[in-house]
Structure 1
């Protein structure tokens, strides 16, 4: 799969927001160093590239897969993405089970960080965060908040913003406020596959799934997204896997 260099929720993000939240390069190297700097132990979780959607490429990915992150071109106005799936708007019980953050305009190009938070936040049972680390404090502080309140908390989190900017500066692509890609995350929570896109109103359900079959279950969803944006090859796919398991 082609590898885009950066991401953005919108090419019209305010300059100030872009400066505080520049786009992240879509590579495991950038995401791993970012994640580990935030408090995920290096020997627990690691991002890996996915080099194709065929069975052979999928079978090469380290298991178990705890999250899948897709970086893809912002779809044109007339594109059929997102798939016509009902947005989750259920009760508090399921809302508490899926960790979700809205992406507000003041977060600029923070969709890479939002995707990382969705990935790690929904894998909390699989990782022991470093106590009092940036992620540990963030998740403890936002656990009882709604998605919009979490977004406001993130926008004001100076430590997270500094870590994001440092991660953005480690990429090989020149930083640019006007970028054309966006990140979404896919997770399996309590036997259900969810698409987590901070630009949407809530998680999107895609049927049954688990950490054993997550990547395979995501493949048809990703193919549908790619088909809806046929004039671009700028797609990149990464998985978050449990190391040594």
Structure 2
């Protein structure tokens, strides 16, 4: 089961040009300029396309992979869909909740799921990413470190610097905002030996079993295939990874 090239216009949802959180185009060019503008050095990490789920395509992906970002069609029933082996963290699992950086996507954040996926990717790889001191991301993560997912969402919605950066990234895409189709972003990360799916539309992180820094990309393939099978009548899927640059 192959994934289309990132030349396919993909974003989070249709939006007006005046919206505070318009959709982001799902391309490495857009996400790289976005994450670098927020305070991640260009020589530190980089987003890359994943062109297929077969072994040959996965072998082409630069390692080490810190996070995987999937953009996929978001039909109404997707919010209630269940995928194999998923286990939503419950509020009582306080220790695990504190270990996984998660932001809830509240209604006022509109089409910010691309930015939330980026924050999930970097926020859960903070020990491997060298943020510029006092940059937008550095201040954001320091300010929200002790907040719960909803409080982080409220903080993000009010963060004018982040909103301006998001708008610039949205305008950097090659696709007109009015032409973008309804899509949604989720992020996959590994934390303490476990694979987590981070979807701001869900109530919390979803556990998908054992994982390691070496096997992250391979471990996420069955989950992605299950998502694709659940939406069989669409080809609008795009997969990217956030990889650390070897120095």
- For Structure 1 versus Structure 2, the TM-score category normalised by the shorter chain is over 0.9
The DSSP-based 3-state class of the residue aligned with 1:114 is: helix
Per-residue Cα deviation, 1:37-68 (whole angstroms, up to 9, x for no partner): 00001111100000000001001111111100
1:138 and 2:143 are equivalent in the alignment: no
Q: 1:242 to 1:21 in 2, by over 3 A?
A: same
Measure, in 2, the Cα distance between the counterparts of 1:58 and 1:107. Answer: 33
Alignment counterpart, residue 190 of structure 1, candidates 189, 192, 197: 192
Normalising to structure 2: TM-score of the pair?
0.92
Unaligned runs of 5+ in 2: none
Cα distance, 1:76 vs structure 2: 4.4
> Paired residue for 1:199?
201
Q: Deviations over 1:209-245 (max 9, x none)?
A: 0110000000000000000000000000000001016
Q: Distance in 2 between matches of 1:226 and 1:150?
A: 30
Alignment match, 1:53: 53
1:129 aligns with 2:131: yes
Alpha-carbon deviations, 1:163-214, whole Å to 9, x = none? 0000000000001397410000000000000000000000000000011000
Q: Secondary structure at the match of 2:184?
A: strand
**How far is 1:79 from its partner?**
8.8
Superposed, 1:106-117 pairs within 5 Å as 106-117=108-119
Determine if contact 1:23/1:176 at 8 Å carries over to the other structure.
no
Post-superposition CA distance 1:65-115 (Å, at most 9, x none): 110000000034289733162211142211111000000000010000000
Question: Who is 1:213 aligned against?
Answer: 215
Q: Name stretches of at least 5 consecutive residues in structure 1 with no aligned partner.
A: none
SS at match of 1:115: helix
Tell me the residue number matched to 2:165: 163
* Count of residues in correspondence between the two structures: 241
Query: Does the Cα contact within 8 Å between 2:103 and 2:149 map onto a contact in 1?
Result: yes
On the 8 A contact 2:10/2:180 being kept in 1, the answer is no
CA RMSD after TM alignment: 1.9
For 1:62, the equivalent position in structure 2 comes to 62
Residue number in structure 2 paired with 1:37: 37
Instruction: Supply the distance in 2 between the matched residues of 1:81 and 1:226 (Cα, whole angstroms).
Output: 12
Look up the SS of the partner of 1:202 in the other structure: coil
| Residues 106-130 of structure 1: CA deviation (Å, up to 9, x unaligned) | 0010000000000000000001100
